[in-house]
Structure 1
Amino acid sequence: MKINSFKLFFISLSFLVSCNTEKKEEFHAHAELEKRYQKLLDYPLDSLAFPRSYSHESKQIKKVPSKDWTSGFFAGNLWQIYELTGNEAYKERAQLWTVFIEKEKFNDRTHDMGFKVFNSFGQGLKFEDNQAYKDVIVKSAQILSSRFNEKIGSIRSWDFNRDKWQFPVIIDNMMNLELLFEATIISGDSTYHKIAVTHANTTLKNHFRPNGSTWHVLDYDTIAHQPRLKVTHQGVADNSSWARGQGWAIYGYTMAYRYTKDEKYLNRAKATAAFFLNHKNLPEDGIPYWDFDAPNIPNESRDVSAGAIVASALIELYRYTNDETYINYSKKFLKNVQTADYILSSDIDIPFILDHSFGDWSKRSEMNEPIVYGDYYFLEALLRLNALEN
């Protein structure tokens, strides 16, 4: 059934093309994807070497331990490929990589519990009623909740730069609320849901500009409990619109609406989606530059990961609004990204699918490279469109 479902995804995109040549290119992309999936399956097991990115310059895979915020994406990718293909080998491999992340349920030095734990253990729960997975999710939510400041109304993001920031909160943190919402569903303890809602409300109040875009980092005063700085860490400038940050906002508030049905979250997602989709610097193919205000557009790197996050989010947003603008963008992005420019060639022996994601400008690292989270949201978008078409 799952293999047929995967094929139906490509059938669902067929209306986007009209000539035989284009259809051949589309199915060629299908074959290339299958080859790329095998690269993930072949990557050797190592609990200290989660694949994060690949440098074209050094020809080296960047490998990280489970404490890295990106560690959960690789297991999540394997779970999603299993869902796309029905091949049990991917499920078995996903289970093994997921186990390596379990110790992170005790890590109180990070806000990224959702990225690490829910994108691995949460994906696994789709396929079996696994009490051990549920226990890990609830424990992780409990630990994440320890970073919540009731007076500020937010979960603290980073612990570094203490000489610069008092209580930093990044827009990325919206993504970790899914873990909290699910922990309440699993445990029946409403504490996690309430913290998620409070954080979403505080971010809604303070994190957005009048034009619909979002700042990356807000730093709160720990005495007055109000924003004291509105800055960037990974964008090109404090007043710029970092593309992936806009994606986190659209996705985060669409997800928050899913769990709460609070219209103000839906409206927030729609407003930031409008900013993204209507921006004069969004390329025609829908694959954004890494920052909408990068100084050398059009000679700037694209960010496939930002586009994939938005494409996945807008498929869900379409379900709540029936606005064709959203689904049209997602289909256009998925079509255009499945080209030789973005799908890695099968002769490149690395455990990634897509090229041209953009990482951290502040460190000048992972700029225009394959990055694991770009693959994750690309696969999720495929699955979501597949489910919508069926």
Structure 2
Amino acid sequence: HRDALADHLRPDPQERPDADRPAETLLRLLTGAWTTQALAAFARLGLPDAMDPYTATGTRELARRTATRPENLATLLRYLTMLGVVAENPEDTTDAEGTQQTGDTGDTGKEESFRLTRLGALLRADSPDTMRPLALMYAGPFYRSFAALDHTVRTGQPAFDHLFGENHFDHFARDPELADLFDRSMAASSRMFQPLPAHPVITTAAQASAPRTVVDVAGGNGELLGRILTAHPGLRGTLLERPHAVEAARRSLDAAGCGDRCDYRSGDFADVPHGGDVYVLSRILHDWDDDRCREILRHCARAMPAHADLLIIERLLPADGAPSLATAWDLHMMCNVGGRERRAEHYARLLADAGLELLDHTPLPLEAYVLHARKAR
């Protein structure tokens, strides 16, 4: 279990050797942009798919498989070794006549060879839990917008809008390739959905004597709804999305074998279908400011029967300021869509303003939470 051992032996970031040397620490932080692009290049070049997690492969063979230059490839892979994405295994490259080969051997006289780690395997295109689309998205349009983060901090306007002349939802909708990449990048974080089919609200609906309907509001390509319907064959689903996303969801849910139990609605938040039993808002509210969130929640409240439940999936800002993915995404949402992450009590206030009551919130993978709300009594 080499990966587990490496994780165990890796120094605590708070105790790294340069912790008391601020200049070195700052230099490491400033190379974060290099990390983003190195991971994206690794994915774009198809290296994760060309590598084996158990057997190391020499750089010349990897270069042949990926149409890259061995010397430059070795430089990239050495950097990724520092990140734990690949692991290095030196191999002797002396040929049959005893002549030392050169080109990608560095100073060791041996060809460098690498194997894929469990971390790097998440960037394989064929992995069921692939995060490759996220790497491409964060190194693409969102990477460009972060270069104008100071504009957002000065003006309050999203840097994405400033650079591209329109908000990112409209921008992606007009570009089929970007729209597809965005949908796949959202699905790439779907491991946070794994516990949701077993949520008490969902299981109670599934056990009802009469068929119950789960309404996924702005449900993207149907990844979450598909998981719920697959786990509970007695449930029906309704997905509300923009027209281009509805078609992608239809294909996805048909492929999952549950498309025949799903209805599709093209529209906006004002078109939330009435009469559902469970309503889902997954990673929607963090896209918007408080006023727009209240409006979205009011649309949901008007559509919900008295018995209906609302499940909201979001990351929550920590109350104690502890390190959190939500803090990073708070910056991302501000820069790219003008939205924000929030604490649980903040969501409770927004729900109350819409006539809804927050009952509880429980943790999900990837530092997300599911918030359960109903109409206020």
TM-score, structure 1 normalization: 0.30
**Greater C-alpha Rg:** 2
Which one has more relative contact order, counting CA pairs under 8 Å at least 6 apart?
A: 1
Higher strand share: 2
Higher helix share: 1
